[in-house]
Amino acid sequence: MNKEELMESARNTKKAAYAPYSKFPVGAALLLKDGNVINGVNVENVSFGATNCAERTAIFTAITKGYTKGDFQAIAVAGDTMDFLPPCSICRQVLSEFCLPDMPVYLTNEKKEILELSLRDLLPYAFKNLDM
């Protein structure tokens, strides 16, 4: 699957987001090394701290399905923004837990342009382990 197809999957998935408070739907498409794609959306809660982002929804769903650290090949994130929409810092840390530093992260904007970064570019000083 190429980055355009993965991003289109993220764009289509954001329609299922539960965002009644922010009105800011986000979709993510996580490409696995076996070629499967797992999608996620943001799911809000009136207590904003209980909200879960699209990227974490996709990763946690993959883990639930038996995928493990290293099984992730790329992720695309889509929202309705003028600029490219990056994952929040919590999502970046979760990505760092399960993905290799050179994994592609695709971001888009309302013009449907795609920016490709590596996870390392997105989180250069990732917290890697507890033995520091």
The catalytic site residues sit at 55
Cα separation, 33 vs 31, in Å, equals 7
CA distances (Å), 1 to each of 33, 36, 43, 63, in order?
11, 9, 26, 21
| Edge-to-edge strand list for the sheet holding 26-32 | 37-41, 26-32, 72-79, 104-108, 114-118
Whether residue 99 is annotated as binding a ligand: the answer is: no
3 state DSSP class of 87: coil
What residues form the annotated binding site? 53, 88, 91
What residues form the annotated binding site for Zn(2+)? 53, 88, 91
